């Protein structure tokens, strides 16, 4: 079954709110085995709604409209959908009683606008909304299913997960849609594609691969549709092959975060870590401490943003700073030794760089970053050029440092 989602609302088009409804609906349909082939956002305009439905039904078996079902004049979806099906709005006593009871439970007196919610198209199947006043409305015509849901997110979620999905599962049998995401770090997307080109070209025909880059990471999503057990085993075999090609780049699966991977590794080994951060400004420690129980593995950080703190707290030599500059291999290695001594941890990370957009030179352009990781017995350091945008540089430096530490520990 193919589905299309139509979101209705000027507030989405002008950027006043983000369309989180489509993301939720897409996820729920996908878990059910229904493929979403298109998402369209349109304004609260009758002609645009009618056109969007007419075009969607040419391509999809299931058309879901969300938004525009409130009691005010600007909510026109219900009238428009009735017009589309040459239908009329009729009073539904069950809906009226539901709305009245719901409002009474909230201490609200029913008024004329609330009463309008009880008028629904004569030909629709009403799917009751236990958490709101606008009911879900389902139509079936020419082997197509149309479903209208309010745009209020918690009402939409209830109607999709508790009303529409059970109805569809009772009526149809769906193939499973399986996704497995491989989380990678340390190899740019284009280089990664070249490294795994032969593996990708020889994937079974049932499996599709998608590259999903974000700052510092590339997610590889393997997708398949059909019999669940067979496809799950097929995907796992391909991931085993991938692990042999890029073992140091893969840090987790299915949206696992790099900080969780490091945390779990440290916890498993009973080891601790600390950080000395300059350009990342404490972001690495923030990522680690976002995890419940991180105190078991993380002792603390020194945010040595200025050279004075590098010298007076971490013990970086003044001569080293003068000779090599704050963004250098020599400085990050001395920062690392200093924080290991202060925190008395098994491992540490030290980072110093030029986050930008100012501060770069011809020799050290914006994005130049030195990262050191290690223990009291061994230190490794790497130079990276991350780019020109400040927030991305901080993010890239943070996840890169964590992945270097992860591989160092392993």
Q: What single DSSP character describes residue 366? A: T
Q: Is the pLDDT of residue 339 over 90?
A: yes
Spatial CA neighbour of 220 closest among 233, 229, 228, 245: 245
- Predicted confidence band at 164 (pLDDT cuts at 50, 70, 90)? very high
Give strand ranges (E) for 242-322. Answer: 250-253, 273-277, 298-303
Instruction: State the Cα–Cα distance between residues 234 and 238, nearest whole angstrom.
Output: 7
Instruction: State the Cα–Cα distance between residues 121 and 89, nearest whole angstrom.
Output: 4
Considering the four listed CATH numbers 3.30.420.40, 3.20.20.70, 3.90.950.20, 3.40.50.620, the one that applies to the domain covering 268-409 is 3.90.950.20
- Predicted confidence band at 344 (pLDDT cuts at 50, 70, 90)? very high
Question: What is 2-171's CATH superfamily?
Answer: MoaB/Mog-like domain (3.40.980.10)
> What residues does each domain of the chain span?
2-171, 176-253, 268-409
Q: Is the pLDDT of residue 196 over 90?
A: yes
What would the pLDDT profile of 116-157 be if each residue is shown by its tens digit?
Answer: 888 999 999 999 998 888 899 999 999 999 999 999 999 999
What would the pLDDT profile of 62-117 be if each residue is shown by its tens digit?
Answer: 999 999 887 777 778 999 999 999 999 999 998 899 888 888 888 888 888 878 88
Q: Which residues pair with 253 in a beta bridge?
A: 182
What would the pLDDT profile of 201-253 be if each residue is shown by its tens digit?
Answer: 999 999 999 999 999 999 999 999 999 999 999 999 999 999 999 999 999 99
Pick the range with the lowest mean pLDDT from 92-101, 171-180, 196-205. 92-101
- Rounded average pLDDT over 341-356: 98
What would the pLDDT profile of 24-44 be if each residue is shown by its tens digit?
Answer: 999 999 999 999 999 999 999
**Global pTM value:** 0.83
Task: Specify the pLDDT at position 329.
Answer: 98
Considering the four listed CATH numbers 3.30.70.2860, 1.25.40.10, 3.40.50.720, 3.10.310.70, the one that applies to the domain covering 176-253 is 3.30.70.2860
Quick check: 271 and 405 in contact, CB under 8 A? Answer: no
3-state secondary structure at position 279: coil
What would the pLDDT profile of 269-326 be if each residue is shown by its tens digit?
Answer: 999 999 999 999 999 999 999 999 999 999 999 999 999 999 999 999 999 999 999 9
């Amino acid at each position: 079954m193919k589905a299309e989602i139509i979101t209705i609302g000027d507030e989405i088009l002008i950027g006043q709110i983000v369309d989180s409804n489509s993301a939720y609906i897409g996820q729920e349909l996908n878990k059910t085995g229904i493929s979403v082939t298109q998402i369209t956002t349109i304004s609260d305009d009758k002609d645009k709604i009618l056109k969007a439905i007419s075009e969607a039904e040419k391509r999809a078996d299931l058309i879901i409209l969300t938004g525009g079902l409130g009691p005010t004049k600007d909510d026109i979806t219900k009238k428009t959908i009735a017009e589309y099906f040459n239908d009329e709005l009729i009073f539904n006593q069950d809906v009226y009683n539901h709305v009245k009871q719901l409002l009474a439970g909230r201490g609200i007196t029913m008024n004329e606008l609330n009463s309008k919610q009880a008028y629904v198209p004569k030909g629709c199947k009403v799917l009751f909304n236990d958490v709101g006043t606008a009911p879900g409305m389902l139509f079936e015509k020419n082997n197509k299913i149309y479903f209208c849901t309010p745009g209020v997110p918690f009402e939409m979620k209830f109607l999709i997960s508790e009303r529409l999905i059970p109805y569809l599962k009772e009526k149809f049998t769906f193939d499973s849609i399986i996704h497995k995401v491989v989380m990678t770090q340390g190899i740019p997307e284009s280089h990664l594609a070249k490294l795994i080109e032969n593996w990708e070209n020889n994937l079974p025909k049932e499996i599709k691969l998608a590259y999903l880059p974000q700052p510092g990471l590339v997610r590889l999503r393997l997708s398949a549709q059909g019999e669940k057990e067979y496809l799950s085993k097929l995907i796992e075999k391909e991931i085993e092959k991938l692990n042999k090609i890029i073992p140091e780049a893969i840090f987790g699966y299915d949206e696992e975060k790099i900080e969780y991977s490091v945390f779990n590794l440290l916890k498993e080994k009973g080891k601790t870590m600390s950080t000395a951060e300059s350009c990342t400004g404490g972001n690495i420690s923030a990522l680690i401490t976002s995890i419940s129980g991180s105190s078991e593995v993380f002792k603390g950080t020194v945010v040595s943003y200025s050279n004075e703190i590098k010298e007076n707290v971490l013990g970086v030599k003044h001569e080293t700073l003068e000779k090599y500059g704050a963004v250098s291999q020599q400085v990050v290695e001395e920062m690392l030794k200093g924080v290991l001594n202060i925190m008395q941890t098994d491992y540490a990370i030290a980072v110093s760089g030029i986050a930008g957009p100012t501060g770069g030179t011809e020799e050290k352009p914006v994005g130049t970053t030195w990262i050191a990781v290690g223990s009291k017995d061994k230190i490794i350091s790497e130079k990276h050029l991350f780019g020109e945008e400040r927030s991305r540089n901080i993010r890239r430096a943070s996840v890169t440092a964590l992945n270097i530490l992860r591989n160092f520990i392993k």
